[in-house]
Amino acid sequence: MSEKEQILEIMRKAGEPLNAGKVAELTGLERKVIDKVFAEMKKEGYITSPVRCKWEPVENKNKF
């Protein structure tokens, strides 16, 4: 499972917007890795930020 898939799965299971620190805690990945992957996922349209510094998956994007 790729880092993106792992992060997306954790975010979906959480059921609420998460910040990068919480995603790092839940996945075991380093915070700098989360920040990098979040930037890629945002650019690709897989995540959105409903409130400042918190992220959630976009509903209709499931596959990388």
Tens-place pLDDT, residues 3-28: 999 999 999 999 999 999 999 999 99
Residue 26 burial class via C-beta count within 10 angstroms: exposed 0-12, middle 13-18, buried 19 and up: middle
Domains and CATH numbers, the chain: 3-57 (1.10.10.10)
Q: How far apart are CA 42 and CA 3, in angstroms?
A: 14
Q: Confidence class of residue 62 from pLDDT cuts 50, 70 and 90?
A: low
- The angle that helices 31-44 and 3-14 make with each other, rounded to 10 degrees, is 90
CA angle 3, 48, 55 (to 5 degrees): 65
* Furthest CA-CA distance within the chain: 28
Give the model's pLDDT for residue 60: 73
Residue 63: pLDDT band with limits 50, 70, 90: low
